Amino acid sequence: MKIKFKLQHISDNGYHLFCNVKINNIRCIALVDTGASKSVLNKKFAEINDFDKIINQNDNLISGINPGQTDISISKIKKLEIGKLSIENFLIGLVDFEHINEQYRLLKIKPFDFILGSDILVETNAIINFKDKTIEINQN
């Protein structure tokens, strides 16, 4: 199955890819990040939508997105939908995206609440087609 993405110009020759996903039936914008080893969810989004139940905290799970953040909460989302792909009971890190989204607001770019990382992209053998602005995802 193919899903559409938006190619957003960020700065000199820089681009980010965005697509829409649903988390527990709530739509949100996802940043597609092939360099992210794990998919993560904005902690504030999880709190606002009341699905931030903490399973555990781990300071070694995720690094890079916010180097100053040492406590990463782990939660379970009931359902993640990417196009017609549905992943149930998905363990996910909750990370503070506020510093990133503030930069996006300055650039007049819509903030995002989910990072679609290589854990899901590799698992689904995703193929990104920049010409057609689609991501082909294969459900195993």
For the segment(s) 2-136, the CATH number from 3.30.70.660, 2.60.120.560, 2.40.70.10, 3.30.365.10 is 2.40.70.10
- CA pair distance 129, 136, nearest whole angstrom: 8
Can you give the pTM of this predicted structure? 0.87
The whole-number pLDDT of residue 72 equals: 73
pLDDT at 52 over 90: no
For the chain, give the mean pLDDT.
Answer: 88
Three-class SS state of 100:
helix
Q: What is the pLDDT of residues 63-78, one digit of tens each?
A: 455 555 556 788 899 9
Q: What is the pLDDT of residues 12-48, one digit of tens each?
A: 879 999 999 999 999 999 999 999 999 999 999 999 9
Beta strands in the chain (DSSP E): 2-4, 6-11, 14-23, 26-32, 40-42, 56-58, 72-82, 85-95, 114-116, 127-129, 134-136
C-alpha distances in angstroms, 38 versus 64, 94, 106, 115? Answer: 11, 11, 26, 8
The whole-number pLDDT of residue 66 equals: 52
Domain ranges of the chain: 2-136
